[in-house]
Structure 1
Amino acid sequence: MRLRLFLGMALMGLALSSCSKYDYEEVKGDLTQTRIYTLKNGLKVYLSVNKEEPRIQTYIAVRTGSKNDPAETTGLAHYLEHLMFKGTSQFGTTDAAKEAPLLDEIEQRYEKYRKMTDPEERRQAYHEIDSVSQLAAKYNIPNEYDKLMATIGSEGSNAYTSEDVTCYVENIPSNEIDNWAKIQADRFMNMTIRGFHTELEAVYEEYNIYLTDDTDKLFSAMQKALYPTHPYGTQTTIGTQEHLKNPSITNIKNYFKKWYVPNNVAICMAGDFDPDEVIATIDKYFGQWQPGEDVKQPEFPVQQQLTHHVDTTVVGQEAETLWMGYAFDKASSLQIDTLQVVERMLSNGTAGLIDLDINQKMLMLGAGTGVQSGMDYTTLILAGTPMEGQSLEEVRTLLLAEIEKLKKGEFSDDLLPSVVNNMKLQYYNALESNQARANMYVQSFIHGTEWKQEVESLERVEGMTKAQIVAFANEHFKDNYVAVFKKQGVDPNQKKIEKPAITPIPTNRDYVSQFVKDIQAAKVTPIAPRFVDFKKDLTFGQTEKNLPYIYVNNNENGRFQMSFYYPFGSEADVRYGYAGDYLDYLGTDSLTAQEVKQQFYKLACNYNIQEGDRSITVSLNGLSENMTEALALLEHLMKNAKVDNEAYAQFVAMEAKSRMDNKLDQRTNFNFLTRYAQYGAYNPSRHDMSIAELQQTNPQELLDLLKNLSTFEHTLLYYGPMSEKELAEAVTSAHQTPETLKTAPEGHHYVLQATPESTVTLAPYDAKNIYMMMYHNENRGWKAEEAPVTALFNEYFGGGMNTIVFQELREARGLAYSASAYYVEPSYEEMPEYFYTYIITQNDKMMDCVNQFHAILNEMPQSESAFNIAKESLTKKLASQRTTKFGLINAWLVAQRRGIDYDINQRIYEALPNLTMADVLRFANEQVANKAYNYIILGDEAELDMASLEKLGSIKRLTTEEIFGY
C-alpha cells in the first residue's frame, strides 16, 4: 500500500523524556508530539494525542509478512491473519479443554492430507476432517472477537498482510482502552486455531477474486522480474493455489511462535487519551508477554541491478496497460527522500512532467507513477494505458521520454519548490487524521526507519536542488527497468479451486464465553454524545451580492475547503460533467493549459468540478494563504477558457476508449448491471451522451455552460481560517454573479423500480466467480421515526462481521470472502427505501448462497445476546462519533435533502434504549421476509445452475451492450 505522508518542521533530534515511570523517546519540533516507548519485553508503543473526537485509531503491527512465508506453504502469513480473529483459549469457545484434543486431531489430519496425491484418498480424508471439525465446532463460538469489538464500540475491525507486515486495525472509543488492551493482549499471546476449514474456504474465495484482478497480475510479474531471488519476486501474499489446497496448521503455529512476539511488534495509537495512562495500561496487559529468542529478519541474496531492461507479459480480461518498474534501496534509506520527490516531479496529478506532457496533451488514455516501499527494496512504478490503436510499445516510448527530460533537467524551475509546497499541504492533512498518524508509525516500525528521520524528511526535502534531482535521475534511470505488458485476452493460467464438501458448522450465537461477559460487565466512564446542532455549529449568511453562504471556521491550521453548490445535476443536463472534464485540458486567452496547471500546483491548491445526479459542485481547496489567488485563477479559467478543437477531438476519443475499457472490467460491469436492474434503462449510468452526440457537440457550448454557471442560484460552502468578512470580500471580488440569480433547471429524476414479483436479471462475464445482489423495493417512503429500528436492524443483521449474514454465509459455510445485507434509506425525501443482499462467490456456490439468504431473511435468527451486543455497539459508536470541519456542512446538506433540519443520529441514539429484539424482528418480518426479489447476477451462464434460477422467477438476460448503453 502506498503511503504519501510526511512529517517536518523538526528542529533537533531524538531525546529521552519521562514524566512517569516509563521513559519515552520524542523528537523536538515534531508537530504530532509522538512518544515512543519500549517495554522491557521489547514491545514498541507509538502514541500521539489528538483531542478532536473521543476515539482512538489503533494498529498492532507485526514485523512479518509474506516475505517470511516458508517456501513450501506460501500464503501462510495472510492465512494466519484470518485465524487471528478466531479467538483464544478464553474466548471463541465454550470449553477450551474439551475442544483442544479435537483441534489437535484436526491439525494432524491436515498434515497427512497435504501429503496425499490420490484424489479419492484426499476426498475421503477431507470428509473425515469435516467430520472431526463438526465435533470441535460444538464448542466453537464463531465471531466472538467481533462481538468483543462490537461490545466496546469499535469500528473498522480489520487486518491486512503485505510482503513485510501483518497489521491489525481497530478504531475504538477513548473510554475503552482498558478493555481493548485486555482483549488484544489475550489475542496475541493465546491465539487458538479453530474453524480452520470454513475459514480456508473464505481464503479460497479471496483467491478467486484475485484471479480476475489484472492489477495483481501486473504487480506480481513486476516483482518477479525485479527481485528474482528474493521473496518479493518468488512468492505472493495470497499464496499459490497448490499451497492453499494443502495447508499446514503446524507450520502456521510455528510461524506464530517465531514472529508474533513483543520484540517484533509495535502498538501504534493516535487519538484522545492520556499517554501516561495508556502506556501503563498496555504494560499491565502486554508486559507479561515473553519476547522471542530470534526475530532477526531472514537474509536473501542481494538482487543484482539490471544492466538492460526486461520485458514480460501477462494476460487478462481487463484493458491493456503497461507498467514499468525501477528498483531502489530499502525504505529506511535516505535515498527514498529523493525518490519520493522525483516521483512527484514525474506525476503529481496536476503539474508533473507526465501530467503536463502526456495527460494534459491526451497522448494516452492515462499515465501516472507510484512508489511501493519495502523493508528490503523500494519500487518506482510508471504506468500507462493506451488510446485506441496505440501500442503498449508506444506507451513505453512516451514514458521513457519523460524520464529523459528529468535526466536532462528539462523541467520548470518552479516544479521542485511546488512539490515541496504541496508536501506541506499533505502534511497538514495528515495531522488531522488519527489513521494517517498511526499509519506513519506502522511504516516507520516495519521499515526500520528512525522516527527522527521521518520527522526531518520535509526539512531535508526543502534543501534539495534541481542539480541534485538531475544527478539522481542520471544515476538511477538507465536501461535497468522491467516492463510488464498487460495484454487483453483469456488467461490460460486461470484455474478455479473446486468447491470442497463442507458441512456447515453451528453458529452457536446464543453462547457467550465468560471472557465476553467480563468485558460486557466492565465499568467505563460513559462518553457524552455530541450531535450536530445546525443553528450553533454552522453560520449562515450572505455576501454583499446576496450570495448565501454556510461557514465553518478552521482554527487548527492553514488549510481551506470551499465549494459553490448548485442544486441541479445530470438529471437536468448531463453536459456539465463533460464540460468540467474538458476544461481540464484548456488554457485561456492569457494562459496556456500547462501554465494553468503549473499555477494551481505552485499555489498548493486544487479545483474540481463534479456533477452528481442532483447537484453540481465547483470546489477549491489547499493552503489558505493562497486561496484568494487560486479563486481568481479558477474564475479566470471558467470565464475565459479557450476552445481547442484538436484537444476536444482527442478528449472524445479518450472517452470512447474509456468506455470500451469499462466493458472489460468485472466490477464495473456489475455496477452498471445493478443500476440497470434497480432503475431500468433510464439510470445514472446509462443516462449519458453518446459518442456520436459528443462528436457533434460544439465544444464552445460546453464552455458556455461553465461560463454562465454562476448565473444560477447557488450557495457558497466554506471551511477555513478566514473570517466571514474576509471570505465574503474575497468571493465578492473574484466570483461575479448577476443581481438576480436564475432558478435551477428541473431534472428528470432517476426512479428506483419496485419488485412486485421475483425476477432474475442476468448479464454475462467470463470469470470463476459471480457477483450477486438480491434487491427488494416496494416503494416504501422514508419515515424519520423509523430510522432507529432501521439502524439497529442493519447493525444486527448484515452491516458488518458481527452480524447474522456474515456468520451464516462466511463463518458457518465458507460461501464467500465477504457477504453483507443492508436496508437503505433514501438520499432524497421523495425517494423510496430499499433492501439488498450482496455477495461474491464461486459459480457453483450460487444457489447455496441464494438458499441461505432466504433462510435467514424469511426467518431471521434471533439471539438476545447478539442483539444486545449490536445495540450496545451502535450506542457507543453514536456517542463517540463527532461531525467536524466540512463534514458539518455535508451533514446539513444531507438533512436538507431528506426534508429535516436536525441530526438524525441524535434521534437514533435517544430511541435506542427502548428498542427490543421484538422491534427488530417485526421490522425484518415486515420489510425483508418472504418478499419478491430481483436476483441480479453477473456471471458466465454456461457455469451457472440455470434450472434453479428459472425456479426463482422469470429470467431477463441483458447483454453487455444493453447494461452499458453502448
Structure 2
Amino acid sequence: MKSKFFLASLLLAFGLTATQAKDYKYITVKGDPMQTRIYTLDNGLKVYLSVNKEKPRVQTYIAVRTGSRNDPAETTGLAHYLEHLMFKGTRRFGTSDYQAEQPYLNDIEQRYEVYRKLTDPQARKQAYHEIDSVSGLAARYNIPNEYDKLMSGIGSEGTNAYTSNDVTCYVENIPANEVDNWAKVQADRFQNMVIRGFHTELEAVYEEYNIGLAQDSRKMYQALLAKLFPTHPYGTQSTIGLGDHLKNPSITNIKNYFRRYYVPNNVAICMAGDLNPDEVIATIDRYFGSWKKSETLSRPEYAPLAPITAPQDTSVVGQEAESVYMAWRFPAGRELTSDTLDIIGSLLNNDRAGLMDLDLSQKMKVQGAFAWAEEMCDYSIFLVGGMPKQGQTLEEVRTLLLDEIGKLKRGEFSDELLPSVVNNYKRDFYKGLDSNQKRARQFVNAFINGEDWEQHTGKLDRISRMTKAEIMAFANKYLNDNFVCVYKRQGNDTTLKKVEKPAITPIPTNNDKHSAFLQEVLGSKPAPIQPQFLDFSKDLTKGTTKRGLPVVYKQNTTDDLFTLQFRYPLGTETNPLVGYAASYLEYLGTDRFSNEQIKQKFYRLACDYSFNQYADQFIVSLSGLNENLPEALRLLEHLMQEAKADGQAYAQYVDLVLKGRADNKANQRSNFLALMDYGLDGAYNATRNIPSGQKLREGSPEELTALMKNLRNHSQTVLYYGPSTLKDLSALITKEHPTPKTLLKADVGTRPYVVQPTPRNEVWIAPYDAKNIYMVQLHNENQEYTPERRAIIDLFNEYFGGGMNAIVFQELREARGLAYSASARYSRPGRKQDKEFFYTNIITQNDKMMDCVKEFNKLLNNTPEREAGFNLAKQGLLKNLASARTTKFDILNAYMNARRLGIDYDPYKKEFERLPSLTLKDLMDFARQNIQGKTYKYLILGDEKNLDMKALEKIGPVRRLTTEEIFGY
C-alpha cells in the first residue's frame, strides 16, 4: 500500500492537487447537443457545465432557488433587496476592519427593528437620523464596490443579478483563465455575506421602485398575477415589493432569509464556455465544498388555487398607451404541458405566419398582438395581448384575440403551420447554442423549475411528434372561459404616492483603502490569455459579383445557417421614406402570392428577412437554413420587385403609424430619447426627420413600392456568412439580384445629423408627469476624433463613468443614494466625419434633482485622482481585450465599422497596444481638457411643478420644450 506522502508527491509531479484526484460523478444525457455535465457535490450544490471553445470566456450564473415567492408577507421585496446587498462584501472584502465595523452594523440592525415599527412621523425622523449617524461611523471601515473591483480586476463583464418570483441569480462573464479567482470570490460571498451600506442602497432600490411606477406594463402584469394567483405569493406580492415595506425594512429578516435559502443544496452553479470540466469542478469543490448544507431546507407551501371558472376582469390606469392582457393558469413549468404551450404560442404569434400575425397584425385589425407562455416553479401562465388601433376599444381587441384562440381550437390553420413552427423552433434552438449565455440560462431555468435534464433535452423530440389533433384537443380542454383579463386604460393613476427624500449624510467611498483579499486576488498570476485580433486581409474575403457588386464574405464551416445582407447608403439622413416603404411592404402581396402566402412560405423555409434603416444606411437582411437560401432570396426579390400597391392597405398603414406616434408621446422612455436627440442634434435629428402625418396621408403608396423596387439600382455592398462558396454565392446574387452596370450614388443630397456645440450653460426641459426625472448634462465643442484616441477614451469611461466600480456610480449611488441609475460617457463616433462629445445620465427622484446636479458638477470640475481605480480600470480593459474574440458574421460587421471610420485594421489591436503606456496623468490631462470647467446643456424630462426651477434658473437660461417640439409631431 502506497503511503499518503508518496501519493501526494505523485500528484504534484503531474501538476495535480489532491482535490483534483477526487472522483467526481456526473450525469450526462444521450443526445444532449450541449454535452452538459451535471454534478452534485457532497453538500448538495448542483453544478451544470457545458463546453464551447469559440471564445476564451465563460458565462457564469449562480442561481438560488428562491425569489419573491418566499418573501415574508410583512417585508415584501426582501429577496430583491438581498440581491442588492450581496454586492456589499463579506468579512474578508468590502471592509478595512471587520472586527471594528461589526458592532456598528449590529447597532444599525437593531435600530431598524425599532424604526420599522414606529408610526409617529417625528419619532421616525429622529430614529432615521440616528441610523444615519451610526451608519456614518460604520462607513469609516466600509470599502464600497470592492466586489466590483474584484470582478473588474479579473476582467469580468456583465456584472449583474436579477430576481423574480422563484429565482435570485448572480451573473458574471469571465475570462477562461480566471475561474479560480472567480470561484474564490463567489464562495466567500455566498458563505460570508455581510450587510453594510444599508441605508444608501435602500434608497437605490426605492429609486428602482420609482422607475417602475412610470411603466404601465409592470402594473398590468402585477394586476394579471393578482387575478391568476389570488392566494399565492405570485399574485399577492410583487418582486420589487410594496413602497411601505421598502421604507420599513428589516435587516434581521434579511439575515434569516439568507440563512434559510442561501445554502448549497438550494443553489446551482451554471457555466458555459471555454472550460475544462474536470478542472472546473475540482476548483468549485475546493472553494464551495466546505459550505454547510441545510438539513432543514424548506419553503412556504400554499394550498392549491381554486379553479377559474369564468372570465375575471380588472383594470389599471396610467399615461402610456392602452392595451389588454389575457392569461390562463397552468401547472408548473416542469410539467409537459409547457411543451404544448410553447408551440401554441408560436402557432398564434411567431412574427411571420402565426394566426395572430396573419389575421390581426398583417391585416391591420389591431395595432399589435402577441402570445407567449411563461414557466414558473409552481405554475405556468399562457398570455395573449394586444394594443388597439385608433378608435378601437379594448373590448374589441379582446374579442379579436379570443377569435384567434377559437380558430386554434377548431383547427382553422394551415396543415403546414405546425411542422413549420417545429422547424423554426429547432433552428432557433441550435442557433442559440452559439451563445454561452443562452446555454447557461437553460441550466438556470431547469434547476429553478425542478426540471429533469433528460426531460429538458428531450423537448425537441417531443414537439416533433405533436399533431394538429393533439394541439386542438389541448386548446379545447384548457383555453376556455377560465381566463383573467386586464385592461390598461389611459388616465391619471391617483394611487401613486409622492415620497420625500430622506436626510442621508454621504458616506465616504474610502478609495484609498483596499482589503488584503482584493490584493490577494489581483496579485494572482493565472496563465495569460493571448489576444487575437482581426486581420481583414486573412479573416474575410473581399470579392465582386459578375456585375461588379462588392462582396464581403466569410465561410461558415460549423453548421448550415447563413446570414446575407445588402447594405445601401440610404439612411434617414438621405431619405427617411425608405424605412416607411419597407414597413408598408410588410402588408402587401404580389400578382402571384398574397401577403399571407408570402409570410407562410418564408416561415416554411425557416428563413427570416428584415429591413432596418439607420442614419446613414439601409440594410436588407436574410437569414436561415442555407439549403433554402436560393428559394428564400428569390421570394424576397419577388416581393420587393413585384409588390402591389394597395390604397386601402396604405390608408390603414398610415393609421397605424400615426397611432404609434401618439403612443410614443405617452411613454416616458420614448420622450427621453426624443429629448436627447433634440438636445444633441437640434431640431434636425433622427426623431424629427420624418414625414409629417399630412404628408403620409397625402402620399402615394406607389411611391413607396417604387422605392423598394429601385433599391437594387443603388450602390450597395453584399455581406455573407454561410456555408456556400464565394463562387456559388456570386452566381446566386447575379441570378436573383440583377443590378444595372451603373449604380446610382445613393448618398447624393444627404444631410448628416450634427451634434450641436454647447457654448454656454443652459437648461432645456420637456414635460412628463412622473415621480422621477431623466436628466443629461451634455457638452460638445466639436473635438475631432482620431482612432489613436480610442484607448484613452475607453480607459476614461471605464475609470470615470462606466460600471459600478466607476467614480460616478460610487459617488452618486453608493455614497449618497441619489439614484438607481447614474453614469457618464465620453462618446467616440462611429463615422469618420462625426465628432466626439460627452454626457452624463441619471434617473432620480424629482426632489433629488439639484443634489444630483451639485454632485455631478463636483465630479466634473474636480475629477477624483485615484491610482488604484485607474490601475483596476486598465487591468480590466486589457483582460477584456485579450479574451475578446470576433467571430462569424461579426467579423464582417467589424470590417464595415472600420471602413466607416476610414481605417482598414482592427482598432482593438491598436487599443490593446496603446493601453499599457497610458498613465494616470494622461487620464487626468484628458479630463482637464475635455470635461472640467466646461459649459453644459442640461436636458431634463420631468414635471416642472415638481422641480426646483429657481435653482435651475441659476444654472443658465431655461428653455421649455413641448412634447410636440421634441417629437416633431
* TM-score w.r.t. length of structure 1: 0.98
Q: Deviations over 1:645-686 (max 9, x none)?
A: 111100000111111111100010010011111111110100
CA distance in 2, matches of 1:883, 1:20: 37
* Contact 2:664/2:671 (<8 A) preserved: yes
Give the letter aligned to residue 68 of structure 2. Answer: S
CA distance in 1, matches of 2:880, 2:217: 35
Q: How big is the shift at 1:918?
A: 0.5
CA distance in 2, matches of 1:444, 1:620: 33
Report the equivalent of 2:891.
888
CA distance in 1, matches of 2:65, 2:795: 38
Report the equivalent of 2:299.
297
CA distance in 1, matches of 2:819, 2:372: 31
Report the equivalent of 1:285.
287
Helix, strand or coil at the partner of 2:612: strand
Matching of residues 936-951 of structure 1 within 5 Å: 936-951=939-954
Matching of residues 490-501 of structure 1 within 5 Å: 490-501=492-503
Q: How big is the shift at 1:196?
A: 0.1
CA distance in 2, matches of 1:901, 1:858: 37
Q: In terms of mean alpha carbon deviation, does 168-177 or 622-631 score higher?
A: 622-631
Q: In terms of mean alpha carbon deviation, does 173-182 or 426-435 score higher?
A: 426-435
Matching of residues 222-233 of structure 1 within 5 Å: 222-233=224-235
Give the letter aligned to residue 252 of structure 1. Answer: I
* Contact 1:428/1:559 (<8 A) preserved: no
CA distance in 2, matches of 1:400, 1:908: 56
Q: In terms of mean alpha carbon deviation, does 738-747 or 761-770 score higher?
A: 738-747
How large is the RMSD of aligned CA atoms in angstroms?
0.9
CA distance in 2, matches of 1:670, 1:743: 35
Helix, strand or coil at the partner of 1:418: helix
Report the equivalent of 2:829.
826
Among 129, 146, 153, the residue aligned to 1:127: 129
Helix, strand or coil at the partner of 1:330: coil
CA distance in 1, matches of 2:535, 2:297: 52
Q: Deviations over 1:42-68 (max 9, x none)?
A: 000000000000000000000000000
Helix, strand or coil at the partner of 1:537: coil
CA distance in 1, matches of 2:165, 2:893: 38
Report the equivalent of 1:473.
475
Q: In terms of mean alpha carbon deviation, does 540-549 or 508-517 score higher?
A: 540-549
Q: How big is the shift at 1:296?
A: 2.9
CA distance in 1, matches of 2:165, 2:531: 41
Report the equivalent of 1:6.
none
Q: Deviations over 1:254-293 (max 9, x none)?
A: 0000000000000000000110000000000000000012
Give the letter aligned to residue 512 of structure 1. Answer: H
Q: Deviations over 1:775-818 (max 9, x none)?
A: 00001110222211111101100011110000000000000001
Report the equivalent of 2:460.
458
Among 482, 487, 490, the residue aligned to 1:488: 490
Helix, strand or coil at the partner of 2:187: helix
Report the equivalent of 2:799.
796
CA distance in 1, matches of 2:575, 2:869: 48
* Contact 2:342/2:372 (<8 A) preserved: no
Helix, strand or coil at the partner of 1:421: helix
* Contact 1:428/1:557 (<8 A) preserved: no
Structure 1 gaps, min length 5? 1-17
Among 853, 871, 876, the residue aligned to 1:873: 876
Q: How big is the shift at 1:234?
A: 0.3
CA distance in 1, matches of 2:499, 2:884: 42
Q: Does 1:39 align with 2:54?
A: no
CA distance in 1, matches of 2:666, 2:297: 45
Helix, strand or coil at the partner of 1:610: strand
Number of residue pairs the alignment of both structures matches? 949
Q: How big is the shift at 1:20?
A: 6.7
Among 86, 91, 98, the residue aligned to 2:88: 86
Helix, strand or coil at the partner of 1:549: strand
CA distance in 1, matches of 2:288, 2:562: 42
Q: In terms of mean alpha carbon deviation, does 546-555 or 403-412 score higher?
A: 546-555
Report the equivalent of 2:196.
194
Q: Deviations over 1:410-467 (max 9, x none)?
A: 0000110000010111112211000000000000000000111110101000000000
Report the equivalent of 1:682.
684
Among 716, 732, 754, the residue aligned to 1:751: 754
Report the equivalent of 2:735.
733
* Contact 1:204/1:497 (<8 A) preserved: no
Among 153, 176, 179, the residue aligned to 2:178: 176
Identity %: 59
Q: Does 1:783 align with 2:780?
A: no
Report the equivalent of 1:13.
none
* Contact 1:208/1:496 (<8 A) preserved: no
* Contact 1:603/1:623 (<8 A) preserved: yes
* Contact 1:362/1:651 (<8 A) preserved: yes
Matching of residues 527-676 of structure 1 within 5 Å: 527-676=529-678
Helix, strand or coil at the partner of 1:908: helix
Q: How big is the shift at 1:890?
A: 0.9
Report the equivalent of 1:274.
276
Among 358, 367, 373, the residue aligned to 1:356: 358
Q: How big is the shift at 1:749?
A: 0.8
Report the equivalent of 1:699.
701
Q: How big is the shift at 1:19?
A: 11
Matching of residues 764-779 of structure 1 within 5 Å: 764-779=767-782
Report the equivalent of 1:840.
843
Helix, strand or coil at the partner of 2:688: coil
Q: Does 1:920 align with 2:944?
A: no
Q: How big is the shift at 1:142?
A: 0.1
CA distance in 1, matches of 2:240, 2:649: 43
* Contact 2:361/2:368 (<8 A) preserved: yes
CA distance in 2, matches of 1:152, 1:928: 29
Helix, strand or coil at the partner of 2:543: strand
Among 856, 866, 876, the residue aligned to 2:859: 856
Runs of 4+ in 1 over 4 A off after TM superposition: none
Report the equivalent of 1:419.
421
Report the equivalent of 1:143.
145
Give the letter aligned to residue 762 of structure 1. Answer: I
* Contact 1:510/1:866 (<8 A) preserved: no
CA distance in 2, matches of 1:70, 1:521: 42
Helix, strand or coil at the partner of 1:88: coil
Q: Deviations over 1:513-552 (max 9, x none)?
A: 0000000111100110011111111100011221110001
* TM-score w.r.t. length of structure 2: 0.97
Q: Does 1:761 align with 2:764?
A: yes
* Contact 1:353/1:411 (<8 A) preserved: yes
CA distance in 1, matches of 2:420, 2:728: 26
CA distance in 1, matches of 2:307, 2:353: 31
CA distance in 1, matches of 2:584, 2:72: 52
Report the equivalent of 1:930.
933
Report the equivalent of 1:909.
912
Q: How big is the shift at 1:558?
A: 1.5
* Contact 2:714/2:743 (<8 A) preserved: yes
Q: Deviations over 1:358-382 (max 9, x none)?
A: 0000001101112221001111111
Among 308, 311, 314, the residue aligned to 1:312: 314
* Contact 1:308/1:480 (<8 A) preserved: yes
Q: In terms of mean alpha carbon deviation, does 186-195 or 671-680 score higher?
A: 671-680
Q: How big is the shift at 1:304?
A: 1.6
Helix, strand or coil at the partner of 1:384: strand
Helix, strand or coil at the partner of 1:534: coil
* Contact 2:571/2:617 (<8 A) preserved: yes
CA distance in 2, matches of 1:165, 1:825: 38
Give the letter aligned to residue 197 of structure 1. Answer: H
Q: Does 1:394 align with 2:396?
A: yes
CA distance in 2, matches of 1:245, 1:714: 58
CA distance in 1, matches of 2:604, 2:705: 25
Give the letter aligned to residue 582 of structure 1. Answer: Y
CA distance in 2, matches of 1:137, 1:322: 48
